[in-house]
Amino acid sequence: MSETQPLLSVRGLMMRFGGLLAVNNVELDIHSGEIVSLIGPNGAGKTTVFNCLTGFYRPSGGTILLHDRHIEGLSGQAIARMGVYSAK
C-alpha cells in the first residue's frame, strides 16, 4: 500500500431507512496518523455513517475501502479484525 493511499476511503455512501434518505453521497479519506471527527446537528447522520463504517448497518449504496479492501456487507467482527493491520 502506498503511503499516500488512504487507510479508509468512503465514496458515495448512502443509507436509506424505508423512504427516508438518512445519508447521501458521503465522501471521506482518512490517512495514517490522521485524527478525524464527524460533527453536525442532531439527525445529520453522524451515527448512521459510523454504523455503516463498523458493519452495524449495510449501506444502501456507495463503497467503503479499509486497507484497500471492500468492507460493505462484512460483519462488524470481520471489520474489527481488519483494523489490526500488520506492516510485515
Give the pLDDT confidence score for residue 76 in this predicted structure: 85
For the four alpha carbons of 3, 34, 84 and 52, in that order, the dihedral sign comes to: negative
Model confidence pLDDT, tens digit, residues 12-60: 999 999 999 999 999 999 999 999 999 999 999 999 999 999 999 999 9
- CATH code assigned to 8-82: 3.40.50.300
Q: What confidence score (pLDDT) does residue 19 get?
A: 95
Cα gap 65→12, rounded to integer Å: 12
Say what the pLDDT of residue 87 is.
47
Q: What is the pTM of this model?
A: 0.84
Q: What pLDDT does residue 84 have?
A: 54
Q: Residue 75: pLDDT above 60?
A: yes
Q: What are the boundaries of each domain within the chain?
A: 8-82
Reply yes or no on whether the pLDDT at 5 is more than 50: yes
